[in-house]
Amino acid sequence: MKPITRRTALKGAATLAAPVLVTSVLAAPALAAPALALGGAQARRPDQPLFGAQSWMLANGLRVVLAENRRAPVAAHYLYVSAGAGEDPAGKSGVAHFLEHMMFKGSPHIPTGAFSRTVAREGGQDNAFTSRDVTAYFQIVEASRLPLMMRMEADRLAAPLIPEAETESERNVVLEERNQLTDAVPRGRFREAFDAAMWGPQHWRGRPLIGWENEIRAITRQDLVDFHAAHYAPANCTLIVAGDVREADLRRWAEEFYGAVPARPKPGRNRAAPLAAAPESRLITRDPAVREASFMQSFAAPSATWGDTTKADPLEVMVHVLGGGPGSRLHRALVEAGHAVGASAGYDGDVVGVGSLMVAVTPRPGVSQERIEEIVAATIARLVQEGATEDETRRAIRQQTAGALLALDGLGAAPRMLGGTLAIGLPIEAVEQWPQRMAAVTQAQVNAAARAVLASPAIATTAWLMPAA
């Protein structure tokens, strides 16, 4: 389960990369808008911002961002809260996600369930998602219905009812969601155990987004009320609107609806540093429901907000050289050589706090664990010792940024990228100038990043999910 981030959205050219926990148990997260296949972006200056978004602040601290896109009479309305599962109180994992569910249970002027019914009646779609860093609520509607969405969203931001009478039934919905996503899915159980092994089961990086089952069962209504009071201040939120909307109109509506929400102090994140070493450096899980083995290895790494943040962009390039698909070093050493059916590497850098770099391999039947680990270790060692070549560096940058302009053809990319970036404390330029920044990454920076993370990793875990013996 990878979070939706600025980088994955850019590289996916406006497609959803990822799961985060959404209110609907059975449905995947909806795209931010219907696809607008409009034939490709026009020629652009090298220094031109991706979206040219406008940004301003209301008196109560709410940040408002508009990315105009007049290609269809549609508007996307996203409210991001800068609090996710990483802000769950100790011993109460799952509070952020549980509250996301309860935010649909009514507010002073919107009865329980009426929010989504109203959006559907207007021909739109709505949903919400919780990641480790943010909780977001969104609606996609015909542009003239945007003021109605803003009025309803501001109403529940200010004063959700969180009714006691519906808390227990919604807890059962959350528990069933956990069952479907994790408990009934071998790879879900394995990934949950893997995160706990690397970071610790009560560290914010090691707890599941949805929460541990026993802790979900213990969450009270007061826990939800307290979380809302602590984190849902306007100054801790970002409103993103994209589509066929004029700035003057949005300024007026934002002031009318959101400007009336009382100001409250903005909370800090206050996240714990990672432990000095992984609680478990090695994990082997056997499961009778598994037919093929899976290998995972993860390393703690700087992120865009933690550690040596200048390493974040070079790490993005480096991980593509290592395992970014056909032509990458792991693909050549494992897949093309006949040892595995899949091999990849990924970097989780657009996060609050410590990031991670992960390697994943699906071996071919009959290839031993030892052989896979030997090849992975040798491939990483060569990258650390010899470095990426200039050709590899340039090719990785071209491949990664190729989707950036394609993202402009749809309405979905702008609110996901802008909101997710601003809500973790990064500047708007982190999105608008991302292709230019990536193009400026040098071979020397890539190789320095590889040495910093992979040469002598202090926090790392190696794991196997295996069929039952």
Give the whole-angstrom CA distance, residue 403 versus residue 435: 10
- Confirm if 211 and 98 have CB atoms less than 8 A apart: yes
Sheet architecture: strand order including 294-301: 282-287, 460-467, 294-301, 355-363, 340-348
What does residue 66 show for φ and ψ, rounded to 5 degrees? -120, 125
Give the whole-angstrom CA distance, residue 67 versus residue 93: 35
Residue 469's pLDDT is 78
- Confirm if 301 and 369 have CB atoms less than 8 A apart: no
Give the whole-angstrom CA distance, residue 285 versus residue 458: 23
DSSP string, 302-330: --SSSSSGGGHHHHHHHHHHHHSSTTSHH
Q: Measured at the alpha carbon of residue 158, what is the angle toward residues 152 and 159, in degrees to the nearest 5?
A: 90
What does residue 51 show for φ and ψ, rounded to 5 degrees? -115, -20
Give the whole-angstrom CA distance, residue 172 versus residue 167: 9
Q: Which fold has domain 6-258?
A: Cytochrome Bc1 Complex; Chain A, domain 1 (3.30.830)
State pTM to two decimals. Answer: 0.91
Q: Give 54's strand partners.
A: 66
With tokens 């508007």, the residue in question is 75
**What are the average pLDDT values for consecutive 10-residue runs of the chain, which has 469 residues?**
47 39 38 35 70 97 96 96 97 98 97 96 97 98 98 98 98 98 96 98 97 98 98 98 98 98 95 95 96 97 97 97 96 98 94 97 97 98 98 95 71 91 96 93 98 97 95
Helix (H, G, I), strand (E, B) or coil at 344: strand
Residue 48's pLDDT is 87
With tokens 């490709």, the residue in question is 40
What does residue 338 show for φ and ψ, rounded to 5 degrees? 85, 10
* CATH architecture for the domain at 282-467: 2-Layer Sandwich (3.30)
- Confirm if 80 and 134 have CB atoms less than 8 A apart: yes
Q: Under 8 Å CB-to-CB from 117, ≥6 apart: which residues?
A: none
Sheet architecture: strand order including 135-142: 21-22, 125-130, 135-142, 74-81, 237-243, 63-68, 54-57
Residue 319's pLDDT is 98
Angle between helices 390-406 and 312-323 (to 10 degrees): 100
Residue 15's pLDDT is 33
Which residue pairs, CB below 8 angstroms and at least 24 apart, start in 432-436? 432/49, 432/50, 432/51, 432/52, 432/53, 433/49, 433/50, 434/6, 434/7, 434/10, 434/50, 434/401, 434/404, 435/10, 435/50, 435/401, 435/404, 435/405, 436/46, 436/47
Which secondary structure element, helix H or strand E, spans residue 144, and what is its range? none
Reference 294, options 450, 186, 426, 406; nearest CA is 186
Q: Which two tokens stand for residue 333?
A: 């050493």
Domain with CATH 3.30.830.10 in the chain: 6-258, 282-467
- Confirm if 72 and 244 have CB atoms less than 8 A apart: yes
Q: Which two tokens stand for residue 312?
A: 């974040």
Reference 57, options 192, 235, 233; nearest CA is 235
